[in-house]
Structure 1
Amino acid sequence: MASSELGSIYSEATTDRRARTMAEPSPSSIPTTGLAVFGCGQDEATLFQEIGARLGLSPTITEDAVCETNAELARGNRCISVNHKTQITNPTLLALSKAGVEYISTRSIGYNHIDLEYAERVGISVGNVAYSPDSVADYTLMLMLMAVRHAKSTIRRTDAHDYRLSDTRGKELRDLTVGVIGTGRIGTAVIDRLRGFGCRVLAHDSRHQASVDYVPLDELIEQSDIVTLHTPLTADTHHLLDRHRIERMKPGAYVVNTGRGPLLDTEALLSALESGRLGGAALDVLEGEEGIFYADCRNRHIENEALVRLQRLPNVLISPHSAYYTDHALQDTVENSLINCLNFESGKTT
C-alpha cells in the first residue's frame, strides 16, 4: 500500500460527527435522562458517580462488558457508555438497538472494536472521547528510553543481584532519528517531547499538523532509528508496518507501538527481532491482546504464541495497553463520555 493511498487516515479523529467532544452543557439545558455504563471498573465507577452528580446525572453502572445477553440492562436509556477492552459484536449492537439504545459513547479515542456501519444500520450513533494526549505521549517517551538503554535486561540482572555492566551500551536520543507516524494530538505531543532531547524527528501523515519535517512513509522507515506509531487502526492501516516495510528498516532500529496492535505485522516483527536485524521493540499494544491484557493470567496458559515469544526476548518490552492510564486521562475519559451522551440527548451532536 503506497503512502499516497492512505488519505487522511493517520491523525486521531477529533472533529468528525463520531469523534467530537462538545462543550459541557449547562445543567439547566439538560433534559432528564438515563445512562447505562458497561465494563466499568471501580476507578471509573467512582468518577462516573462524582462527575455524574455534578452534571445532574446518576448513571446505572455495571462491571461486565456489554454483550448480547446483558444488553437488556440498557432498556430505558437512549445512551450507553462502553470501554475499549472488548469487541462489541453485531448481535450485541442489534440487541442494544432493540432495547432502545440510540447512542454509544466509547471511552477510547479509537473505535475499531465497533462496526460503525452496522451500528448506523440499526439506528445507533457512535462517538469516541478525547483525553489528555500527554498520558500516551509521556509513556511513549518512557518506552523509547527504556528500549535504547536496554532497561529490561538491566532490571532483570539487578533483580538477580548481578550488578555488572552489560556488554551492550545504550544509545542517546540526541544521536538518533525518530520517525513519528501519525501527527494528531498524541503524535504531536510526542514530537514536542522529542525536541527536548535534541534528536532529529521525521513525521508522516496525510495532514501536516505539526511543525516538523514531513517525509514519505518509506523514507521515514528507511532513515529512522526509532519508528513510533500513533495512527488509528483502519482497514488501510492494518499491518501498516508489514514484512516489506520492516525489512526496509535500518539494521538495529527500534519499533515503539502505543497505538493499536494490528498496525504491526507481529510475525514479521518477530522474525526481524529473532534474527537480530532490529535492535528491539517496545509494545503497549499487541495483536490478539483481547482476553489477555487486563486479566490475571498468572495461573493460566497464554494461547497467544507470538506474545510468549516476544516476552522471551531480552530486547522487547511489553505492557498491557496501559499508556492511557493516568489520573488526568481517566477523568477526561469519563467526563467527556458523560458530556457526549448529554449533548446527544440535547440534540447538540451533528
Structure 2
Amino acid sequence: MSYSDLGLIDSEVIAERHVRALDDSSPSAVPTTGVRVFGCGHDEAVLFREMGTRLGLTPSITEEAVSETNAELARGNRCISVSHKTQITNSTLLALSRVGVEYISTRSVGYNHIDVEFAASIGISVGNVDYSPDSVGDYTLMLMLMAVRHAKSIVRRADTHDYRLNDTRGRELRDLTVGVIGTGRIGTAVIDRLEGFGCRVLAHDSRPHASADYVPLDELLRQSDIVTLHTPLTADTHHLLDRQRIDQMKHGAYIVNTGRGPLLDTEALLSALESGRLGGAALDVVEGEEGVFYADCRRKLIENKALVRLQRLPNVLISPHSAYYTDHALNDTVENSLVNCLNFESGRTA
C-alpha cells in the first residue's frame, strides 16, 4: 500500500479530454444525461449548473447529504455525486442500489467515508476526483510557519491589545528538518514549496517517486523538527503516528496534519503535547470531526472532548478541514466529478 495521495483516475486529464471533445463537436453531438448531486452547498451548486450545461449534463441539486431516507431522490439517475463530509452507510448504499444507482463520484481524493468493497458487491462503482494539489500544499506551508512562529498565541494576545513579545521567539524553516510522509501529488507539492525555504527535507513513502531524500519512517521521525502527513487513510495507515511512533520524535518537534484525522492517535498526541514532549501541532483534520466541522457549533456542546482539549492548548492550531477549499480546487472538484459520471455513462475508463 502506497502512502501516496490516492487517485483512482486521473480526472484532470479526462476533464481536459472531454472539454476538447465538446468544443470540437456540434451542439447536437453534446450528450445529455442526468446526475443527482448530494450534500451540495451554494458555492458548489453554482458551479455544477454552469459546468453541467457546458458538459451536457443536467445536475439535480440536493443540499442534504445522501442518506437512507433521501436515496429515493436518486431514482432515474445511474450516477450520483456525493460530498466527503458525511459517512455513507452500507444501508444508504443498499437504498441507492434499489433505486438504480450504479456509480458514485465522491468529491474528494480519499474515499474512506464509503465502503468501496461493499458498494462493489451490490453493483455500485465508486470513483474519486483529483483537484489542485497547490491548495493543500499552500495551506500546509502556512500551518508550518504559523506553528513554528507561535502565531496562535501572538494573535490572541494582540486581539486583547497585549503587544508584548513574551517568550514567543520563533524558528526559521531554513534551520529545520521537515519530514514529509506520503509523496503523492500533495506531498510532492509540499516538498516543492519547502525547497524555497532552504530547509532539509526527508520523505517516506512505500513507493518513492518524488525527487526527495527517502528514509525509513523511524529515521524520519527521529530526525525531523516538523512531521507533515499526506497519506490516504487505510487500515494500514490508521493511527500511523501512534504512541510508540510519537515517542520516537524529537523533543520539541511539531506535527502537521492536512491528510485525515485518524492518521494520528489523538490521545497519544494530547499526552505528548500536554507533557511538553512535542513543541506543537497544526491540524486541519482531527479524529471525530464528523458532525462538528462544517457546522455552526457556537451554541452547541462539543461532544468531541479530545478536540476541545486540543483547542485549549496554546501551541495547537485547529482549522475545520479547509485546506482544500480554494476557488481553483473547487472548480476542479466539481468538473471532475461530472466528468466521472460522463465517463461512466459512456462506458469509458481512465
Moved more, 193-202 or 25-34: 25-34
In 2, are the aligned partners of 1:79 and 1:102 still within 8 Å (CA)?
yes
Cα deviation, residue 78, structure 1 = 0.5
Residue in structure 1 matched with residue 5 of structure 2 by the alignment: 12
1:186-201 pair list within 5 angstroms: 186-201=186-201
Residue in structure 2 matched with residue 321 of structure 1 by the alignment: 321
In 2, are the aligned partners of 1:31 and 1:346 still within 8 Å (CA)?
no
Q: Distance in 2 between matches of 1:168 and 1:325?
A: 30
Please tell me the residue identity of whatever aligns with 2:82. V
Cα deviation, residue 56, structure 1 = 1.5
SS in 1 for 2:58: coil
Q: Distance in 2 between matches of 1:128 and 1:46?
A: 21
Q: Distance in 2 between matches of 1:167 and 1:222?
A: 26
Cα deviation, residue 19, structure 1 = 3.5
In 1, are the aligned partners of 2:149 and 2:170 still within 8 Å (CA)?
yes
- Report Cα offsets for 1:124-182 as digits up to 9, x if no partner: 00000000000000000000000000000000100000000021310000000000000
Residue in structure 2 matched with residue 344 of structure 1 by the alignment: 344
Residue in structure 1 matched with residue 176 of structure 2 by the alignment: 176
Residue in structure 1 matched with residue 120 of structure 2 by the alignment: 120
In 1, are the aligned partners of 2:229 and 2:256 still within 8 Å (CA)?
yes
In 2, are the aligned partners of 1:20 and 1:128 still within 8 Å (CA)?
no
Query: What RMSD over aligned residues (CA atoms) do the two structures have, in Å?
Result: 1.0
Please tell me the residue identity of whatever aligns with 2:294. Y
Residue in structure 2 matched with residue 143 of structure 1 by the alignment: 143
Residue in structure 2 matched with residue 3 of structure 1 by the alignment: none
- Report Cα offsets for 1:302-340 as digits up to 9, x if no partner: 000000000000000000000000000000000000011
In 2, are the aligned partners of 1:20 and 1:127 still within 8 Å (CA)?
no
1:126-137 pair list within 5 angstroms: 126-137=126-137
Identity %: 81
Cα deviation, residue 9, structure 1 = 2.5
Q: List 4+ stretches of structure 1 deviating above 2 A.
A: 22-32
Cα deviation, residue 30, structure 1 = 5.7
Q: Distance in 2 between matches of 1:125 and 1:313?
A: 43
Residue in structure 1 matched with residue 72 of structure 2 by the alignment: 72
Please tell me the residue identity of whatever aligns with 1:214. Y
Residue in structure 2 matched with residue 40 of structure 1 by the alignment: 40
Residue in structure 2 matched with residue 247 of structure 1 by the alignment: 247
In 1, are the aligned partners of 2:34 and 2:58 still within 8 Å (CA)?
yes
Residue in structure 2 matched with residue 289 of structure 1 by the alignment: 289
**2:275 pairs with 1:275:** yes
Cα deviation, residue 209, structure 1 = 1.3
1:203-282 pair list within 5 angstroms: 203-282=203-282
Please tell me the residue identity of whatever aligns with 1:130. D
1:92-107 pair list within 5 angstroms: 92-107=92-107
In 2, are the aligned partners of 1:173 and 1:197 still within 8 Å (CA)?
yes
Please tell me the residue identity of whatever aligns with 2:38. F
Please tell me the residue identity of whatever aligns with 2:39. G
Q: TM-score, normalised by structure 2?
A: 0.95
Q: Distance in 2 between matches of 1:194 and 1:208?
A: 18
Residue in structure 2 matched with residue 5 of structure 1 by the alignment: none
- Report Cα offsets for 1:55-110 as digits up to 9, x if no partner: 12120000000000000100000000000000000000000011100000000000
In 2, are the aligned partners of 1:30 and 1:345 still within 8 Å (CA)?
no
**2:83 pairs with 1:90:** no
Q: TM-score, normalised by structure 1?
A: 0.95
Q: Distance in 2 between matches of 1:41 and 1:276?
A: 41
Please tell me the residue identity of whatever aligns with 2:45. A
SS in 1 for 2:117: helix
SS in 1 for 2:290: coil
Please tell me the residue identity of whatever aligns with 1:270. L
In 1, are the aligned partners of 2:149 and 2:168 still within 8 Å (CA)?
no
